[in-house]
Amino acid sequence: MQNLAEILTKKELESVFDRIQAIVAVVDIEGKLVSWNTAFEKGKSQFPNANNLLDFFNQRERDILKSRLAEGVQDQWMGELPFTENGAAVFYEFSLIPISNNQILFIAERITSDADAEAAVEKLRKQVKLFQVESEFSKKLARNKQIEMEAVLAQAQEVAHVDPLTFLPNRRTIVKDLQNEVLRAERYHSTLSISVLDLDNFKTINDTYGHPMGDEVLRQVAIQLRDSVRHPDVVGRYGGEEFLILLPNSDATAAAEQANRLCRQIRNKVVHAREQDIQVTISIGIAQFRVGEDSWHSLLKRADNAMYAAKNNGRDRWLIAE
């Protein structure tokens, strides 16, 4: 069987790159843009003055990319890129492939479903197994390979605690965090509040627009929540369309102020996905930990009951548990 590169002409290859949905660009080792395909051009339109690949990333992602470009080796990782019409960051799987003339091919494939995210996680796990086998049977493992293995292990460990759809802490992680915060509040008699948040009429969104649209709505709402809570507050996906926010050292009044702000922000932010505009609202139940009375489970139950009471009272609102 002939290699595709031997069959297709340069013009035909350019046509292929312009038709695929993946973002493709050629850069030098410092990230300066040399050439790119149509998908990259669409995203680049949001940054008309950008002439370096690093310009499209936030500071944390920029540092990672700069380091990997300097190494000049083939690499893969996951991260965020704000190549959307509204400038919101979404998740991609990135690849760097060294080519001729000291240049590097950059490819970004958007993660659009649980299946895509699970596939990326599985790829990481396979990398970990490969490196472990090499470590076990090779006595002359180079130091750079050891560093690479440790980086993959760290990334795999991080992914294991992340919800693959929203990239927030998953149910197991956020519940463990809740248990730790309850133990801390019980031991030191410190203040702790939690909020249980649920998207209103989410079933109607799924039934009307389909589950892929529902997934995109969840993903965009999750990004808004993550960017809106203040440190040391933590938000995680508790399950389905339900999220859990932990507010250490905050009483119910502070949690209510946050809930009021989140309701307003979600209400005023139209979710644009798959050429559709969807108005989304949320209902929030708040509970403050009662030292000597509550367990983590009872605290969560009180917040959950308050959330359902908020829904029964008309939705798009918050309620503090008694």
Residues labelled as active-site residues: 241
Residue 311's alpha-carbon distances to 5, 217, 305, 316, in angstroms, are 58, 19, 10, 7
> Which parts of 29-181 are beta strand (E)?
33-36, 75-81, 90-99, 103-110
- Which helix (H) or strand (E) is 61 found in, with range? helix 59-71
CA distance 258 to 318: 10
Helix locations, 189-276, DSSP H: 202-209, 211-228, 252-268
* Residues 206, 217 contacting (CB under 8 angstroms): no
- Name the 3-class secondary structure at 84: coil
CA distance 308 to 285: 7
- Residue 17 in tokens: 């790159």
